[in-house]
Amino acid sequence: MNWKSKIESIGIKVPVKILATRELIDKLNIPCLEKFELLTGIRERRACSPGEDSCSLAVDAAIDCLDHSKYKPEDLEMILSCSITKYNGHLVHQYEPPLSVCIKNSIGASGALNFDITNACAGMQTGIFIAEDFIRRGVVNNCMIVSGEYITCLMDHAMKTVKTPFSKELASLTLGDAGAAVILDRTTIEREGIVVSGFTTLSKYSNLCIGKHGRKYAGGFMKTMAKKIHKVSISDSVPMVKEVLKKSDLTFDQIDYVIPHQTSRNSIFSGANHFAKCFGQRPGQVVVNLKEYGNTASTSHFLAMYSYLNEKRFKEGDRIMLLCFASGIIIGVVLFIMNEMVNRYGNKN
């Protein structure tokens, strides 16, 4: 028997420390970057302080997720850690034991199956794809997908090396730190849950965004051919979205919310216009959640969803499409129907 899965709850952790875009650009003192905030739509982002890292962000997000869930830690049957960064102890990258072990032990879910996956900024959506398969086949009843992204070290490196507006590290100035967690569980209700999820990899473009460990400075660095990766991602995602709509028997204007990867405001708007031209239709709303958080890598879609849940913007039955673009190039789409989860958010005074 095949079961469906649904998103049961979401949790978030953002650091307290705020870094303003204006402050960063003033330090660089490159005249051509004066409109960087206007072009990206990013006013500020959150950054880890001493004592915070990938692991602590993931653990705190997992705890917040459980606070909004019907499940207790001991009820979790599987935990997937999906972050790009695996810092545990400032900028110490931990490979063994996998970060998922530290997370499950920290939250008290010692009985859960666990493993780590890494798929660039598509990590959490890839985790959903894998977890859905486990649930659909009856292997587990529920799964937590969690990520902690301590990526402002890439921004720190860029601040030391960017000298011109043509630098390949310029995109690193859009980054912010955050943790996110999602619990998927089994459902038999037809009018809720994940409708379609799928991915494609365009490996011939893998050189357009490369991240490496730094040699001269602590942490890592990232070099991105921003214009080309945006052009390729948008044009090559159209067939993928068409396939998803065909499988779900929907048209593009029947999607209530599209949540794209939160890269920059200009990129999101130009992508939305390209889609409108290709489909001859627009979705109900394209979500932009950059202003206060920037690009938080694999956690960005769920940070945006969390904000909208707490602002009571979603309602039961809304069709929501998560559209991710990641280094590789990876293009992923998850289409799901919002459930009663909306009643558990936005109620704090």
Do the bridges between strand 257-260 and strand 285-286 make them parallel or antiparallel, or are there none, so unpaired? parallel
Tell whether 154 and 197 lie within a shared domain: no
Upper half-sphere CA count for residue 84 (Cβ side, 13 Å): 29
Element (H, E) at 281: none
- The answer, yes or no, to whether residue 29 has pLDDT greater than 50, is yes
Tell whether 200 and 146 lie within a shared domain: no
- The answer, yes or no, to whether residue 259 has pLDDT greater than 60, is yes
**Tally of domains in the chain:** 2
Do the bridges between strand 113-116 and strand 44-46 make them parallel or antiparallel, or are there none, so unpaired? unpaired
In a domain, residue 349? The reply is: no
How large a percentage of the chain has pLDDT more than 90? 75
Tell whether 204 and 159 lie within a shared domain: no
Bin 307: left if φ > 0, else alpha if -120 < ψ < 50, else beta.
alpha
Tell whether 94 and 153 lie within a shared domain: yes
Token pair of 202, please? 């365009």
User: Which of residues 187, 217, 235 is at a domain's end?
Assistant: 187
Q: What would the DSSP string read from start to end of 294-305?
A: -B-GGGHHHHHH
Q: Which residue type sits at 273?
A: N
Enumerate the H helices of the chain as residue ranges. 21-28, 36-40, 54-67, 99-107, 123-136, 152-161, 226-248, 265-279, 300-310
Mean pLDDT across the chain, nearest whole number?
92
Token pair of 307, please? 């904000």
In a domain, residue 52? The reply is: yes
- The answer, yes or no, to whether residue 349 has pLDDT greater than 50, is no
Window from 65-79, 178-192, 294-308 with minimum mean pLDDT: 178-192
User: Which of residues 159, 187, 215 is at a domain's end?
Assistant: 187
What's 273's domain CATH number? Answer: 3.40.47.10
d(C-alpha 235, C-alpha 237), whole Å: 6
In a domain, residue 167? The reply is: yes
pTM of the model: 0.94
Tell whether 32 and 8 lie within a shared domain: yes
Question: Per DSSP, what are the bridge partners of residue 121?
Answer: 119
Per-residue confidence (pLDDT) for residue 189, from 0 to 100: 82
In a domain, residue 321? The reply is: yes
Tell whether 151 and 225 lie within a shared domain: no
Tell whether 126 and 149 lie within a shared domain: yes
Tell whether 146 and 199 lie within a shared domain: no
d(C-alpha 190, C-alpha 123), whole Å: 27
Backbone angles phi, psi at 234, to 5 degrees: -70, -50
Per-residue confidence (pLDDT) for residue 2, from 0 to 100: 67
Q: Domain range for residue 221? A: 193-342
**Span 96-124, mean pLDDT?**
94
pLDDT band at 342 (very low <50, low <70, confident <90, very high): very high
In a domain, residue 347? The reply is: no
In a domain, residue 158? The reply is: yes
Report CA 229 to chain centroid distance, whole Å: 18
Cβ-in-10-Å burial (0-12, 13-18, 19+) of 278 comes to: middle
Tell whether 133 and 214 lie within a shared domain: no
Tell whether 329 and 305 lie within a shared domain: yes
In a domain, residue 32? The reply is: yes
Per-residue confidence (pLDDT) for residue 219, from 0 to 100: 79
- The answer, yes or no, to whether residue 192 has pLDDT greater than 90, is no
Tell whether 180 and 197 lie within a shared domain: no
In a domain, residue 348? The reply is: no
User: Which of residues 187, 215, 243 is at a domain's end?
Assistant: 187
Tell whether 296 and 173 lie within a shared domain: no
Per-residue confidence (pLDDT) for residue 1, from 0 to 100: 58
Per-residue confidence (pLDDT) for residue 348, from 0 to 100: 58
- The answer, yes or no, to whether residue 93 has pLDDT greater than 90, is no
How large a percentage of the chain has pLDDT more than 70? 99
| Per-residue pLDDT tens digits for 163-189 | 888 899 999 999 999 999 999 999 888
Closest CA to 19 of 39, 40, 49: 49
